[in-house]
Structure 1
Amino acid sequence: MLARTVREVEAAVQRGRVTPSVRAKFQAVALMLREERARVRADATVGDARRSEQLKRLDGVAQILATTAVRDSGLLALLAEDTVVSPEARELTRELLRSAGVEPAPEEVPPPEIPAPFAPPERRAVPQSVISRQLANPFLAPDFSAAPVRPSRPRRLAGWELLNPLLSSFERAGDGAPACMALPAPTSLRAPGDLQLMPHQGALVAAAAAGHRTFLLADEPGLGKTAQALLAAEAANAFPLLVVVPNVVKTNWAREAGRWTPHRPATVVQGDGNAVDGFADIVIVNYEVLDRHVGWLGTFGFRGMVVDEAHYIKNKTSQRSQHVLQLSERIRARTPRPLLMALTGTPLINDIDDFRAIWQFLGWIDESQPLGELMDALEDTGLTPADPGFYPAARQCVIDRGIVRRRKVDVAADIPARRIADLPVELDGPAGRSIRAAERDLVARMVSRYERALAGRADGDAVEGIDPELVRRVARAELKDATTTTGENVFSMMRRIGRAKAGLAADYTAQLARSAGKVVFFAKHVDVMDAAEDAFAQAGIRFSSIRGDQTPSVRQKNIDAFVTDPEVAIAVCSLTAAGVGINLQVASNIVLAELSWTDAEQTQAIDRSHRIGQTEPVTAWRILAAQTIDARIAELIDSKAGLAARALDGSPVEAAEATDVQLEALVGLLTDALREAAPLAAS
């Protein structure tokens, strides 16, 4: 039996097909060869001649094994004395023994493996508030004894190579094959405040409430994956919850957590984590700083983990992927049924192998085989990869573990035909600090002007508290100076903010292009467009440029390229030059990298895609610099849009002009500064 098996391995290696099942068979033969040699040498009932004959035959098998191993370094490594024997090789060994008429010894079920603590590398940080949390309640330390021990069961599929057939089952799927698990009817879960949960969102939350705990949520952008993840965590009571996200959406996650789960404190990990709230229910960390915090995150005691833009971990050799997989393993070791969610509109970027890291994060597979419920489901099919019906059945087994994929067109009745989604971003680094300093200087200049005007008043003109009319006069004077003099002012600040947002806006646009198809990118200033186009070129994404300085023929050529060429993913457009007169309804996602001064200009840009011929709801993603005048102007534009709508409906209110927004922004900045200064002056 050993000789026959080793010849099968030799033939497979000669054909260049060293699959995981071949490696398992190779290791099984090596293991049995050693055990048989030791048995023959120790068998006192066998004569010397018989023993010599048997050892000679075993040496022949060993010679073939060694010659075969030289052909492949991976096989050669399996002959090392300290090599760990894989579960597949152990099970195959038992099967081979049975086929040879030998009953194998009962297999011992090993205790659940507890992941080793993370080795602290350099730059590893532990926030002081996390230490305080641990000291305040020592019972918060992870209790790995809670990890479930799965009962062993006979494995009909042991010895079969299953991962490649599982991946292949998705490549073989024909048109019309289901791509989404069966979801229950939406629950009557009430969203906080005046928020409303859309039916497709409620269906996933209902699945979590019913006990489902792993999801690959691959909805198209604009369908509310963030809200679904937060409310699923609420339904599963998966707190504390760890959320790993790209830097560009970190601030937005904190804002969404405050909206959808307002009673759950959220904290954002910035830099070394000095401002982290160790008692928060939701911890949000971006991939870029994960290496510094993976140590304490691994011992925090999370009961759920969400990985946003999960295609970021597709390269399993990258450091961030390894950290994410380690954290997932530790959470699964501590919590019997943790909530694990991978969010991405782009589960596959290069090929079907991109699934591997995501499936491993979710605990569906490990490096070599399906695990847990997925393995049980495959066993229950009664099929093997040799059966033609295995592939559709296996694909469904994977989907049933939690793949959820809905497109805009599938749930068009759930979402508005046209909507604006704000995406706040943090401006870090020197550019962000410079912008905030310039805003403080602008405010200080207006406060000084206000105080001088106040000091020059006669006693009879005194007004108690803040004088709103004087505030407006100061703001008008500042606005007038901004149009007639050089130096830092509201216009130059908005341009600087646009430049600082350019990279983040381009990064998000690239994500949308990969996950949802064509995207229109609008910017106001040429240097912002230039920066975005450089980013797209470096990322290998083809784009068309539509600007005001182009000749009509060049302009039309670029428009046609975006509309007709499937390889051109992004149209980079001037907000003023391309905001009117062109049709871009081939895209249903728009990125507004810079704000206009009026809602009308913003609406004109959105309507390049939201027009007759558009078959999907249109989402405009407005990139806002958090904690700057950028966010205030966005609010003013929205409020003025309401006034304009009422004016169109017959109200005597006039639609707002650009100067109204500029003036109101300065009025708001000055008023806030005076209010903050009043308590200080009183004390």
Structure 2
Amino acid sequence: MGERRKAGGGRVGRDERDVVARGARLAGAARNVVGDHGRAVEAVRAVLTPIHDAAVRRELDAIPVARLQDVTGGRLRLGGVEQSGLRTVGSVLDAGPYRLRQIPGVGQRTVDQVLAAARRLSEAAHETVAVHIDVDRPEPDTTALVTALHTLVEAGPDARRAVDRAGALAQRLDPLLADARPAAGRLRMLLAGREKKARALAAVTAIRALADEAERARLPELFAQASVDLLRGPASDLAAWADFELRSAEYYSLLAEISGRAPDAAAAEGFLPDEVAERVRTQHLDDTHRRVSLRGYQAFGARFALAQRKVILGDEMGLGKTIQAIAVLAHLAAEGQSHFMVVCPASVLVNWTREVEARSALRVLLLHGPDRHDAFADWKGRGGVAVTTFDALRGFPVPGGGEVGLFVVDEAHSVKNPKAKRSQAVAEWAERCARTLFMTGTPMENRVAEFRSLVGMLDGGVADALGEGDALAGSVAFRRAVAPVYLRRNQDDVLTELPSLQHTDEWEELSASDEEAYREAVRAGNFMAMRRAAYLRPEKSAKLERLREIVREAGENGQKTVVFSYFKDVLGVVREELADGTALLGPLTGAVPAARRQQIVDDFAAAPGPAVLLAQIQAAGVGLNMQAASVVVICEPQIKPTIEHQAVARAHRMGQVRPVRVHRLLATGGVDERLVRMLERKTRLFDAYARRSAVAEATPDAVDVSDTDLARRIVEEEQARLGMTDGNPVERAEA
């Protein structure tokens, strides 16, 4: 006790020394995690640089010398250069000035111009050429790249969060620790002048406050876990490749970030006017309750919704509008908001609840079915993210001002008709909520009347100012007119990497009609009928409704779709449902001769604009290339996972110029859920090994579970669940 004095006395005691030591440990942990992350990033760069250089070289070797004329406006005389055997830009750069000067008729001025033009093309190639990771032909260098990236992907958003906070904390602590150095020992304090002593004691106070704040935020644990994750030994090649196949978008996102080949800033910001874009850039985005990393354009989209308060997010399908919405919800929850409402079509209810649960720490409640009013009361009392349908929304009381932190409307084009009751209900909620986020992947630029109706629910002033001629004046003028409320980005603008593969499990709740057909199939012990029960009564099929939405949105965006099913009769039902207004090809089945199959695929690729190809999965899953399709729909889960992988590989392969999105239609609570759960029990590593094996590719039966045993088990379990234990024996799975 005698050692301690008041701060004004200029003496330092154990308490002050402990605070300085505590601050030094915290700063050391912060610097360590930043350093660990930096080394993981450098490991990626070390592998990436030679791969990228080789890709650039291949590009330059493929550019004919004649292209140098384009760069110089046709001023060059290249006849002598080409006649000397230098046919490509790459060979010109290799030749250099000495060899070029030896070419008859080529003077120093031409040499300088040729090399300057070649270097400009080389610089452009370095900026634009992206690295392709080919999962079908893994080379040692790409394997090393995937393995290095795997460390960062596995560390996940928590590691990135730790690095960001560690950097900010170290920046604040380092100068304070320098000022507090005299307080680290009694002798130092005695020898320090009055001004240094006062500064040291003030720094100790600030360090204590920072350390207490860090403890409350559990930053030491966050830093420690991040360092462990970043220092974990490299994964095996097979494990890294397996993870890449499952999460390729995350790998490519990191790759684009580390390589510095980010999308054009104006495109990523939806070509917003500078004044709007600047306001959005300065908007803080809290990630405390978020469990997913955002790409740059996604973070901008979330900030746009926060900064502008009532907006339409109109990104093209596949750019992650749901993730952006969840980022907004997580931010507002961190600010203290407790109640959120999401309204969407019934077909995506389950997807919304699963996405919120997987991508955030927020509580989610489904307000659907006969108990929806009880669920609404629970939400009113306890808060969380409520998810409901347009029809159900009409039955809930409209909130008071400030009660709902964010009102999200998915597939907002569904409420473009102001006379519809669902549109009126949404408009009333939007008016009462301080923040509203409409989401639609359907391009609205050329439908001014419909678009004005949506905008009017958010900002009457912008809607009134939006005239019919604005869309005709060009996209730039249109976007400027609607910039306060509308943000749209296209895939071509913001996805700089080579095509990624995005899998989405589309969980649907069976309609009453679907459920009745399913029970009949279970009662009969007919496994194959159970698998296709969701399509037996098309007029009220939940899966067909979602399939129509996917195909419609793909068509609106000019994309081609391939629809796979194991069952020919399901493809027949799909064909009838899509017959109006859609360019349909197929069905491509096992009964179609091989030559005719290829002709169908060629016709599909040649079709102008959007088209749909129907294909039996076991007939079209092997041997045919369908890279014209960038949207794949699988109507039901397959018994053999290899069949799905092979089918998807027909579209997601070299030559594909757009990211491929795979939608697997699944029904909750029955055979689909049991199939998915059983097949997921296999480990990732085994599944990857099976896919890598040439034998397994040729003979899926060698690596998958027995069809008959699996079918019998599922039928028996479903009969027991539905109280039909005296049901009929299962039919053969191959039926």
- Listed one character per residue, the Cα deviations across residues 352-410 of structure 1 (whole Å, up to 9, x for unaligned) are 3331122112225477457xxxxxxxxxxxxx9999xx988864544531432233333
Q: What are the ranges of 5 or more consecutive residues in structure 2 without an aligned counterpart?
A: 1-265, 724-735
- Matched residue, 2:343: 244
- Matched residue, 2:668: 626
Q: Give TM-score scaled by structure 2 length.
A: 0.52
- Listed one character per residue, the Cα deviations across residues 303-333 of structure 1 (whole Å, up to 9, x for unaligned) are 32111111112223333223222322233xx
- Matched residue, 1:644: 687
Distance 2:498 2:359 in 1: 17
- Matched residue, 1:155: none
> SS of the residue aligned with 2:375?
coil
Supply the AA of the counterpart residue of 1:432: E
Please tell me whether the aligned partners of residues 225 and 343 of structure 1 are also in contact (alpha carbons under 8 angstroms). Answer: yes
> SS of the residue aligned with 1:278?
helix
Please tell me whether the aligned partners of residues 527 and 715 of structure 2 are also in contact (alpha carbons under 8 angstroms). Answer: no
- Matched residue, 1:141: none
User: Matches of residues 187-586 of structure 1 in structure 2 within 5 Å?
Assistant: 189-190=286-287, 195-208=292-305, 211-237=307-333, 239-270=338-369, 273-274=372-373, 276-280=375-379, 281-291=384-394, 293=395, 295-296=397-398, 301-331=403-433, 338-348=434-444, 351-365=447-461, 368-369=464-465, 395-412=478-495, 417-435=500-518, 487-497=524-534, 499=536, 500=541, 502-516=543-557, 517-538=559-580, 540-548=581-589, 549-551=591-593, 555-586=597-628
Distance 1:362 1:523 in 2: 41
Please tell me whether the aligned partners of residues 356 and 362 of structure 2 are also in contact (alpha carbons under 8 angstroms). Answer: no
Distance 1:361 1:513 in 2: 26
Distance of aligned partners of 1:647 and 1:208 in 2 relative to their CA distance in 1, 3 Å threshold: same
- Listed one character per residue, the Cα deviations across residues 114-149 of structure 1 (whole Å, up to 9, x for unaligned) are xxxxxxxxxxxxxxxxxxxxxxxxxxxxxxxxxxxx
Please tell me whether the aligned partners of residues 426 and 626 of structure 1 are also in contact (alpha carbons under 8 angstroms). Answer: yes
Task: Please report how far the alpha carbon of residue 578 of structure 1 lies from its aligned counterpart in structure 2 after TM superposition.
Answer: 1.7
Distance of aligned partners of 1:344 and 1:601 in 2 relative to their CA distance in 1, 3 Å threshold: same
Supply the AA of the counterpart residue of 1:524: Y
- Aligned-pair identity in percent equals 25
Distance 1:362 1:255 in 2: 28
Task: Please report how far the alpha carbon of residue 590 of structure 1 lies from its aligned counterpart in structure 2 after TM superposition.
Answer: 0.8
Please tell me whether the aligned partners of residues 479 and 486 of structure 2 are also in contact (alpha carbons under 8 angstroms). Answer: no
Task: Please report how far the alpha carbon of residue 212 of structure 1 lies from its aligned counterpart in structure 2 after TM superposition.
Answer: 3.2
Distance of aligned partners of 1:364 and 1:551 in 2 relative to their CA distance in 1, 3 Å threshold: farther
Distance of aligned partners of 1:357 and 1:176 in 2 relative to their CA distance in 1, 3 Å threshold: same
Please tell me whether the aligned partners of residues 191 and 197 of structure 1 are also in contact (alpha carbons under 8 angstroms). Answer: no
Distance 1:300 1:189 in 2: 20
Distance of aligned partners of 1:605 and 1:675 in 2 relative to their CA distance in 1, 3 Å threshold: closer
Distance 1:494 1:221 in 2: 28
Supply the AA of the counterpart residue of 2:365: A
Distance 1:594 1:523 in 2: 7
- Matched residue, 1:118: none
Task: Please report how far the alpha carbon of residue 344 of structure 1 lies from its aligned counterpart in structure 2 after TM superposition.
Answer: 1.0
Distance 1:649 1:665 in 2: 26
Task: Please report how far the alpha carbon of residue 634 of structure 1 lies from its aligned counterpart in structure 2 after TM superposition.
Answer: 2.3
Supply the AA of the counterpart residue of 2:544: G
- Matched residue, 2:169: none
- Matched residue, 1:148: none
Please tell me whether the aligned partners of residues 505 and 665 of structure 2 are also in contact (alpha carbons under 8 angstroms). Answer: yes
Supply the AA of the counterpart residue of 2:532: R
Supply the AA of the counterpart residue of 1:511: R
Task: Please report how far the alpha carbon of residue 508 of structure 1 lies from its aligned counterpart in structure 2 after TM superposition.
Answer: 2.9
Distance 2:506 2:645 in 1: 17
Distance 2:474 2:689 in 1: 58
Distance of aligned partners of 1:257 and 1:176 in 2 relative to their CA distance in 1, 3 Å threshold: closer
Distance 1:489 1:207 in 2: 52
Q: What are the ranges of 5 or more consecutive residues in structure 1 without an aligned counterpart?
A: 1-174, 332-337, 371-383, 442-486, 678-683
Distance 1:593 1:675 in 2: 24
Matched residue count: 433
Distance of aligned partners of 1:491 and 1:258 in 2 relative to their CA distance in 1, 3 Å threshold: same
> SS of the residue aligned with 1:230?
helix
> SS of the residue aligned with 2:510?
coil
Task: Please report how far the alpha carbon of residue 417 of structure 1 lies from its aligned counterpart in structure 2 after TM superposition.
Answer: 1.6
Please tell me whether the aligned partners of residues 291 and 359 of structure 2 are also in contact (alpha carbons under 8 angstroms). Answer: no
Distance 1:272 1:266 in 2: 12
Please tell me whether the aligned partners of residues 366 and 372 of structure 2 are also in contact (alpha carbons under 8 angstroms). Answer: no
Please tell me whether the aligned partners of residues 521 and 530 of structure 2 are also in contact (alpha carbons under 8 angstroms). Answer: yes
Supply the AA of the counterpart residue of 1:278: A
- Matched residue, 1:82: none
Q: Give TM-score scaled by structure 1 length.
A: 0.55
> SS of the residue aligned with 1:582?
coil
- Listed one character per residue, the Cα deviations across residues 613-644 of structure 1 (whole Å, up to 9, x for unaligned) are 11222111111101222023124444546423
> SS of the residue aligned with 2:311?
strand
Distance of aligned partners of 1:219 and 1:176 in 2 relative to their CA distance in 1, 3 Å threshold: closer
> SS of the residue aligned with 1:537?
coil
Distance of aligned partners of 1:505 and 1:352 in 2 relative to their CA distance in 1, 3 Å threshold: same
Distance of aligned partners of 1:297 and 1:561 in 2 relative to their CA distance in 1, 3 Å threshold: farther
Supply the AA of the counterpart residue of 1:559: V
Please tell me whether the aligned partners of residues 241 and 304 of structure 1 are also in contact (alpha carbons under 8 angstroms). Answer: yes
> SS of the residue aligned with 2:308?
coil
Task: Please report how far the alpha carbon of residue 249 of structure 1 lies from its aligned counterpart in structure 2 after TM superposition.
Answer: 0.8
Distance 1:391 1:430 in 2: 47
Please tell me whether the aligned partners of residues 502 and 532 of structure 1 are also in contact (alpha carbons under 8 angstroms). Answer: no
Distance 1:659 1:498 in 2: 26
Distance of aligned partners of 1:350 and 1:399 in 2 relative to their CA distance in 1, 3 Å threshold: closer
Please tell me whether the aligned partners of residues 448 and 468 of structure 2 are also in contact (alpha carbons under 8 angstroms). Answer: no
Please tell me whether the aligned partners of residues 636 and 661 of structure 1 are also in contact (alpha carbons under 8 angstroms). Answer: no
Which moved further from structure 2: 255-264 or 612-621? Answer: 255-264
Distance 2:469 2:652 in 1: 50
User: Matches of residues 157-168 of structure 1 in structure 2 within 5 Å?
Assistant: none
Distance 2:461 2:677 in 1: 46
Distance of aligned partners of 1:675 and 1:422 in 2 relative to their CA distance in 1, 3 Å threshold: closer
User: Matches of residues 1-80 of structure 1 in structure 2 within 5 Å?
Assistant: none
> SS of the residue aligned with 2:518?
helix
Distance 1:385 1:519 in 2: 32
Distance 2:476 2:496 in 1: 31
Please tell me whether the aligned partners of residues 192 and 261 of structure 1 are also in contact (alpha carbons under 8 angstroms). Answer: yes
- Listed one character per residue, the Cα deviations across residues 630-660 of structure 1 (whole Å, up to 9, x for unaligned) are 0231244445464231346689999764544
Distance 2:573 2:718 in 1: 34
Task: Please report how far the alpha carbon of residue 571 of structure 1 lies from its aligned counterpart in structure 2 after TM superposition.
Answer: 1.3
Distance of aligned partners of 1:346 and 1:203 in 2 relative to their CA distance in 1, 3 Å threshold: same
Out of 605, 608, 612, the position equivalent to 2:650 is 608
- Matched residue, 2:117: none
Distance 1:671 1:594 in 2: 19
